[in-house]
Chains A and B, each alone.
Chain A
């Protein structure tokens, strides 16, 4: 026990004197958590507080064009800037290049005319299907209708573009439906659709009730902090490979290791000491990042991190994640021949495991072929366990199925490390 205590003391002294290593271990996760949460939060806010700048050029003088304008305004996610109808497409593109807006919509000049034509055709088709007599169908091909043009800046991400497209399609559908309805009403009653009925039919949609399915029954909608803080804490824990992997290699390469091998103590004592010392570091890392999420984020205008009710669960998950991260770092250090190798292999492998583990892209969005690979990444199981607690409001028993694979992976890593030590005649 005295040997282990002395070794832990030695490791702590060396660790606290490695300023660069400390920066890597503590400053990096804090910066990552703040930056990623801020970026994701601003994206979230942009979608929810009318701040997507959009140029709107309505070249149509009719009613449908105005209705389309109103429908877009009602979507509520755009900061509309009107553009005069005589402004050319090229000029609009130039304004977008000048970052005046990231999206522009051009409603064509004959929009109302063509919408009405199409609505009339649809109404007549419908009446004919009901067996009612109608005027002969107009022969105009609806494919001649000039489309609404959506210009977007190339910086706009695909997923974001799709959500905008969805909102526009919904607006367009509304305008079209209204015209079809008016046309049908006129064909049946030979009078215009009353406003009150139009409002009832068009604006009386059934509401969508959004409920996050939490295990504890709470209905708090998870914010960007709940997603990002645990994810980047896991990433930081595993990034300990830079400091710890390097430390194992340094010890192997410098003379102290030769001396250790000639002393009447097994090298395993050194490895146990490193595991305990750095496990403590990972727990402190998590505590620091979580504390920042709870106390510093609100003062920075970021959403507050809400700790789960099961604090014991958080502590146990943190300990197991930390142990896995430390085990992985030691394994890299045992097999690497130089410090550069340990740093390079360590950093790249962590980024890859984070990518396939669902830290960068959600796991459910990954192709099927990656689903198996994802399960091999320890970061995936760490993330799932944390999400079970932070997002789903679960308790320790709810994340046991995430913890068990993580313990299995840790056990395999430890065995590989022991094999490496044995093969290199280190134990």
Chain B
């Protein structure tokens, strides 16, 4: 099969049900993210954002359909294509007993980098993300904002072509958020496709140029952010969100 060369992520007829659950999370879900986009995936709690991201990164095995990253089917080439993407999970995904340098050295090796590449990338990331002064301190002594930056640094260590970000700025102060968003924009300018979820809609509006709204396992809107706002006569993403998903609680 030939696929469009400029699609970073292509999802075809995705069907996924958690083992032992009677109701499926997704059924016949289709979505395409083009290379170079800053793509935002939004939805209420329990809508399926994290599950969809876990399917895209191979953390969950889906039962139906097909997901391709840069034209590679993840079901058939899982480990070989993992080099193509980076993942920044919502939880702190590193060893708190180690320093940022030690964490980057370990995860860099697991990402397929050699010793020299690790050294160069570590110095660069520690500098850019403001961690150079604390590079030898154990991460467990860090503030939440510093830990978020370490979490991000590990995800981009191997210069991935696609970067999945699951609420990368949750619980951080304005300065850290500002630094992270600016860094992500810079990465995108250098060609990295960003796929991002968050409940910080103002931040999302600042970062994303294209969005999809997911609700109850279905994509209910998918377009350029400006276009969606225009179509639904909303000024901001928050208004658009409430307009399309309603105002009732979803996880009660």
A interface, CB within 8 angstroms of B:
2-3, 5-7, 9-10, 13-14, 17-18, 254-256, 258-266, 269, 425
CB atoms of B98 and A260 under 8 A apart = no
Give the complex CA separation of A259 and B59 in angstroms.
Answer: 9
Could you say which residues of chain A place their CB within 8 Å of the CB of B61?
A: 425
CB atoms of A259 and B109 under 8 A apart = no
CB atoms of B59 and A261 under 8 A apart = yes
Instruction: Name which residue of chain B comes closest to A6, CB basis.
Output: B109
Give the complex CA separation of A122 and B177 in angstroms.
Answer: 105
CB atoms of A2 and B93 under 8 A apart = no
A-B contact pairs, 8 of them (CB 8 A): A2-B109, A9-B105, A254-B91, A259-B107, A260-B110, A262-B58, A264-B83, A265-B79
Chain A nearest CB: distance from B52 CB in Å? 15
CB atoms of A6 and B106 under 8 A apart = yes
Given contacts A258-B89, A259-B87, contact A7 B98 (CB under 8 A): no
Q: Which one, B10-18, B111-119, B238-246, is touching chain A?
A: B111-119
Could you say which residues of chain B place their CB within 8 Å of the CB of A2?
A: 109, 114-115
Give the complex CA separation of A61 and B105 in angstroms.
Answer: 89
Could you say which residues of chain B place their CB within 8 Å of the CB of A261?
A: 58-59
Q: Does B102 contact A (CB under 8 A)?
A: yes
The listed residue with most A CB atoms (<10 A of its CB), out of B57, B82, B92, B95, is B95
Q: Does B154 contact A (CB under 8 A)?
A: yes
Q: Does B235 contact A (CB under 8 A)?
A: no
CB atoms of A259 and B94 under 8 A apart = yes
Give the complex CA separation of A7 and B98 in angstroms.
Answer: 12
Instruction: Name which residue of chain B comes closest to A2, CB basis.
Output: B109
Chain A nearest CB: distance from B109 CB in Å? 4
CB atoms of B80 and A264 under 8 A apart = yes
Give the complex CA separation of A390 and B201 in angstroms.
Answer: 71
Could you say which residues of chain B place their CB within 8 Å of the CB of A260?
A: 110
Q: A264-B110, A266-B79 are in contact. List 19 more A-B contacts (CB 8 A).
A: A2-B109, A6-B109, A17-B138, A254-B92, A256-B93, A256-B95, A258-B89, A259-B93, A259-B154, A259-B155, A260-B110, A262-B57, A262-B85, A263-B107, A264-B82, A264-B112, A265-B79, A265-B110, A425-B61
Give the complex CA separation of A182 and B79 in angstroms.
Answer: 95
Chain B nearest CB: distance from A99 CB in Å? 51
Could you say which residues of chain B place their CB within 8 Å of the CB of A10?
A: 95, 98, 102, 106
CB atoms of B98 and A255 under 8 A apart = no
Give the complex CA separation of A13 and B95 in angstroms.
Answer: 10
Q: Which of A13, A18, A258, A262 contacts B91 (CB 8 A)?
A: A258
Q: Does B97 contact A (CB under 8 A)?
A: yes
Given contacts A256-B95, A262-B57, contact A6 B110 (CB under 8 A): yes
CB atoms of B93 and A255 under 8 A apart = yes
How many of B's residues come within 8 Å of A, CB to CB?
A: 34
CB atoms of A255 and B91 under 8 A apart = yes
Could you say which residues of chain B place their CB within 8 Å of the CB of A5?
A: 109
Give the complex CA separation of A2 and B108 in angstroms.
Answer: 11
Q: Which of A7, A255, A266, A425 contacts B106 (CB 8 A)?
A: A7
Give the complex CA separation of A266 and B58 in angstroms.
Answer: 13
CB atoms of B82 and A263 under 8 A apart = yes
- Against A, the Cβ 8 Å flags (1 = close, 0 = not) of B106-142 are 1111111011000000000000000000000010000
Give the complex CA separation of A262 and B106 in angstroms.
Answer: 14
Give the complex CA separation of A261 and B115 in angstroms.
Answer: 21
Chain B nearest CB: distance from A262 CB in Å? 4
Could you say which residues of chain B place their CB within 8 Å of the CB of A9?
A: 105-106
CB atoms of A14 and B92 under 8 A apart = no
Q: Which of A17, A266, A425 contacts B97 (CB 8 A)?
A: A17
Give the complex CA separation of A5 and B112 in angstroms.
Answer: 13
Could you say which residues of chain B place their CB within 8 Å of the CB of A18?
A: 97
Could you say which residues of chain B place their CB within 8 Å of the CB of A6?
A: 105-106, 108-110
CB atoms of A262 and B98 under 8 A apart = no
Given contacts A261-B59, A262-B59, contact A3 B94 (CB under 8 A): no
Could you say which residues of chain A place their CB within 8 Å of the CB of B98?
A: 10, 13-14
Chain B nearest CB: distance from A250 CB in Å? 9
Instruction: Name which residue of chain A comes closest to B90, CB basis.
Output: A255
Instruction: Name which residue of chain A comes closest to B114, CB basis.
Output: A2
Could you say which residues of chain B place their CB within 8 Å of the CB of A425?
A: 61
Could you say which residues of chain A place their CB within 8 Å of the CB of B89?
A: 255, 258-259
Chain B nearest CB: distance from A194 CB in Å? 86
CB atoms of B59 and A14 under 8 A apart = no
Chain B nearest CB: distance from A272 CB in Å? 13
Instruction: Name which residue of chain A comes closest to B102, CB basis.
Output: A13
Give the complex CA separation of A14 and B97 in angstroms.
Answer: 6
Instruction: Name which residue of chain A comes closest to B58, CB basis.
Output: A262
Give the complex CA separation of A69 and B211 in angstroms.
Answer: 102
Give the complex CA separation of A6 and B61 in angstroms.
Answer: 29
Give the complex CA separation of A5 and B95 in angstroms.
Answer: 17
Give the complex CA separation of A7 and B97 in angstroms.
Answer: 14
- Against A, the Cβ 8 Å flags (1 = close, 0 = not) of B56-98 are 0111010000000000000000011111010101011111111
Instruction: Name which residue of chain A comes closest to B140, CB basis.
Output: A17
Chain A nearest CB: distance from B99 CB in Å? 9
CB atoms of B95 and A264 under 8 A apart = no
CB atoms of A256 and B94 under 8 A apart = yes
Chain B nearest CB: distance from A15 CB in Å? 9
Give the complex CA separation of A3 and B111 in angstroms.
Answer: 9
CB-CB contacts below 8 Å: B172-211 with A: none
Could you say which residues of chain A place their CB within 8 Å of the CB of B82?
A: 262-264
CB atoms of B109 and A3 under 8 A apart = yes
Give the complex CA separation of A9 and B105 in angstroms.
Answer: 10
Chain A nearest CB: distance from B48 CB in Å? 18
Give the complex CA separation of A232 and B3 in angstroms.
Answer: 63
Give the complex CA separation of A262 and B154 in angstroms.
Answer: 12
CB-CB contacts below 8 Å: B143-194 with A: 154-155
Give the complex CA separation of A5 and B82 in angstroms.
Answer: 21
- Nearest first, the 4 closest Cβ-Cβ pairs linking A and B are A255-B93, A6-B109, A255-B91, A259-B93
CB atoms of A264 and B79 under 8 A apart = yes
Give the complex CA separation of A266 and B78 in angstroms.
Answer: 11
CB atoms of A262 and B102 under 8 A apart = no
